[in-house]
Amino acid sequence: MARFGAGVRRLREHHIIMLLWFVIVYWVISVAIGLIAALRVKNTSDFAIAGRHLPFYMVTATVFATWFGSETVLGIPSTFLGEGLKGIVADPFGASLCLILVGLFFAAPLYRMKLLTIGDFYKRRFGREVEVLTTVAIVISYLGWVSAQITALGLVFNVVSGGEISPLMGMLIGSSTILIYTFFGGMWAVAITDLIQMIIIVIGMLYIGSEVTDLVGGVGVVIEHAAEAGKFEFWPKANFVEIIGFAAALSTMMLGSMPQQDVFQRVQSAKTEKIAVWGSVTGGSLYFVFAFVPMFLAYSATLIDPDMVAGLIDDNPQMILPTLVLKHAPLFAQVMFFGALLSAIKSCASATLLAPSVTFTENILRPMMKNMTDKQLLKAMRIVTLLFTALVTFYAVNSEYSIFEMVENAYQVTLVSAFVPLLAGVYWSRASKQGALLSITLGVVTWLSLSMVGSEDPVVPAQFAGLIASAIGMILGSLMPQMLKHDPHVHHKLRAGHYAEEMAESATPNG
């Protein structure tokens, strides 16, 4: 019996070593591909939006892979186990709707404007003050999202090394290596690695799904069990509090994610306007479909190993799916699962490191440093990327939020400050600078005030109240007598792309 136990331990150690070597090899190859992609980067346009050269399949891949991150594989399934579909209204429902709606309603007008960042839109539409305020909000919102990916990297390295690599060390290894190819390759590196990682995610998730299906006796068994447990309850009950709570959860990701640089980058990176539209729609649709695979896998664990689930569900639910794979799947299936998980995290982390760094450099730093050449601007973008990586790693190490909570909370600040000015700026010709400033002020003040009150079960969630206040501010501020200078024809100029030449001039060294 002792020999048998020793043999099992040796086999397990052998599996861990093999799995860890796979992770190391895969990591090195990914970084190498990113560095090769860096050869395409000649200027800031290449670094920020891949020179607007991406074909349909690459735009689709980078939209999908950017959003299919750690929260999709670890955060959403653990939340689903505890709360069912009603607990994941924000993601994947709100998140996928965000990408689809951006493609249908925002991709075309934004693409025609030929801007480098989403902050450039606010500047052209409403002026410098609105540009700065929205850019700061957007950059802050990325803290939670990127930190969630770095936290997940620490978790994965800890798991695949059998505990030899601590979560902290895993975070440091993960963030530093992703920084390498993002620092040099920018959007080109992100897009090319995203394409490869999307393929790995799809193949890996489908393969491990088939393995787990065999263990539980079929997909129907899992669905029936989940339905009996009430996990498919989605719509709120017919009372005010639940309806408002549902709307708040949905809007946080669906609307709060729209004024984000990573979404804007994918629109602007496309070769054509049509690709910008349908790449976003297709990527969002694929994200919604494949987000249910990790949920299926995690719920299968309640049938395969209920004791393990019971032991983790309260203290560390994010570990349920990785533990299931390590305990019950063969080595090749483990390799496929952790390959897909690493791909999901890497693609999301690299994109979300790049987006705020580019936005901050273009919309905050560049106007402060006059006569900056394109070469100097590119260098500044890379330095800011380095600094932002250090910042989010520090935040991740010290955060007590779960991966799902980090991502969901990230979009509250942009929901209350940047969404309404974006929507009104594109679709309401009377929207003015005064309206945008009042919208941002009322939205943020309302949100912060209610958040500080700290009610555990508010009638109206703070971020939803902030969204309503932001909309009221835009309407009142734009309809009131205008106290601030504003071009009444700016909306039509932007929608028609008439600022393209002006933007090109402003991108020159003397702009």
Q: What is the pLDDT along the chain (511 residues), one digit of tens a residue?
A: 444 334 334 545 666 777 778 777 877 887 888 788 888 888 888 888 888 889 999 999 989 987 887 778 888 888 898 889 998 998 899 999 999 999 999 999 999 988 889 999 999 999 999 999 999 999 988 887 788 788 888 888 888 777 888 888 888 888 888 888 888 888 888 888 888 878 888 888 888 888 888 888 888 999 999 999 899 998 888 888 889 989 998 998 899 989 988 888 888 899 999 999 999 999 999 999 999 999 999 899 899 988 988 888 887 888 888 888 888 878 788 887 887 777 778 777 887 788 888 899 999 999 888 788 888 988 999 999 999 988 888 888 887 766 666 666 778 999 999 999 999 999 999 999 999 999 999 999 999 999 887 666 678 889 999 999 999 999 999 999 887 776 666 776 666 655 544 444 444 433 3
* Contact between residue 80 and residue 231 where contact means Cβ atoms under 8 Å apart: yes
Say which residues have a Cβ less than 8 Å from residue 505's Cβ, sequence separation at least 6: 511
Say which residues have a Cβ less than 8 Å from residue 75's Cβ, sequence separation at least 6: 91, 148, 318, 402, 403, 404, 407
| 3-state helix vs strand vs coil in the chain, percent to 5 | 80, 0, 20
Cis peptide leading into residue 92 (ω within 30°): yes
Coil, strand or helix: which one is 54?
strand
How crowded is the C-beta side of 311, counted as CA atoms within 13 Å?
9
Query: What is the residue type of 244?
Result: I
End-to-end CA distance of the chain: 78
CA distance 451 to 119: 26
CA distance 353 to 359: 11
CA distance 355 to 265: 8
The DSSP code sequence of 335-358 is HHHHHHHHHHHHHHHHHHHHHHHH
Question: The tokens of 147 are what?
Answer: 């930190």
Say which residues have a Cβ less than 8 Å from residue 257's Cβ, sequence separation at least 6: 94, 95, 98, 263, 411, 414
* Contact between residue 87 and residue 79 where contact means Cβ atoms under 8 Å apart: yes
Instruction: Specify the DSSP class assigned to residue 230.
Output: T
Of 337, 290, 254, 319, residue with least CA distance to 68: 290
Query: What is the residue type of 177?
Result: T
Continuous H helices in 84-228: 95-101, 107-113, 118-126, 128-160, 167-216, 219-228
HEC string for 440-476 = HHHHHHHHHHHHHHCCCCCCCCHHHHHHHHHHHHHHH
Output the CA angle 157-159-163, nearest 5 degrees: 90
CA distance 96 to 140: 22
> How would you class 383 by CB atoms within 10 Å of its CB: exposed for 0-12, middle for 13-18, buried for 19 or more?
middle
CA distance 282 to 288: 10
CA distance 205 to 417: 36
Tokens 């600094």: give the residue: 387
